[in-house]
Amino acid sequence: MKMRSTLGSTWFVLTVGAIAIFATACGKETARTTVTSEADSIAQALAADSTALALAERGRDAYLASCAMCHGAYGEGNGPMASQVATQGKPPAALNDPILLDRVGREELIKIITMGGARSHLSNLMPSWGEKIPAETIEQIADYVMVLPRLKPGITTVKIDEYLQAPPGAAADGRKLFVFYCTMCHGPEAKGDGILADSLWARHQVRPRNLTDTAYFTPKTDQEIYMTVSLGGDYTAHSELMPGWDVKLSPAEVKDLVSYVRAVSKTESRP
């Protein structure tokens, strides 16, 4: 189901409503029935607040998988590839800037994500996602980005940190690296059901590996997994559509990803 609601408007309505409530309460003494009514209104606003947050988070996983490597986990324009992008042109935009997003607007943001920076008169380093990501997912990303600056920062940060937290046995940065670089294909839970999974099957009859497959990874050595991540599937007799990450990731980061695969596949390290 497509997300057509304008979450930014929801927040504006909630804010105006809350201001009106508190202004009335501070301006004069009210009857008990009025106080009760205002308490109910505040409770309803808080409930709507939680609903808006839940709706926005539908696009969070897709944002972290496709955008965070440049724009950062919290939309601050400081993702792991931000400095590299900045040396080749403009740095990634800070998507937690409410003034910027109000000026751009949701529909224009959808166009930018779909068409890319070059065709939107922005940085040509901003890729076009229209041929890779379903339109529904692009709308979810846009809705998440539009509401991101207006969500309660503490709640947003805590939930993103929880989402990026490494499982027991994995290196501290293993999950974060996986989310930024691998979930597009392998999915948020590493089960091979990422945003691009259906497209890969439709075009190439290839599905991303289910990294939670214990039977598959038990006989694999750490070196085999490392080489596949680092050099790509074509080098290790797997699918040539599995890219090699040695250009973008350091050896230490690849090792962190290997530890994450070991953790989610529930297999022991085999040097």
Same-domain check for residues 1 and 32: yes
Among 112-121, 162-171, 183-192, 236-245, the range scoring the smallest mean pLDDT is 112-121
Scanning 28-67, the segments in alpha helix (DSSP H) are 32-56, 60-66
Gap between the Cα atoms of 260 and 169, Å rounded: 8
- Give the count of domains, the chain: 2
Identify the pLDDT of residue 51. 59
Task: Considering only the C-alpha atoms of the chain, give the largest distance between any 2 of them, rounded to a whole number of Å.
Answer: 77
* CATH number reported for the structural domain that contains residue 147 in this entry: 1.10.760.10
**Buried/exposed code over 147-175 (b: 16+ C-beta within 10 A; e: otherwise):** bbbbbeeeebeeebeebbebeeebbebbb
Among 54-58, 79-83, 203-207, 265-269, the range scoring the smallest mean pLDDT is 54-58
Tell whether pTM > 0.75.
no
Does residue 270 form part of some domain? Answer: no
**pLDDT above 50 (res 185):** yes
Angle at Cα 225 formed by Cα 223 and Cα 226, nearest 5°?
Answer: 60
Q: 184 is written with which tokens? A: 């597009």
The residue segments making up the domain with residue 194 are 165-265
For residues 101 and 144, the answer to whether their CB atoms sit within 8 Å is no
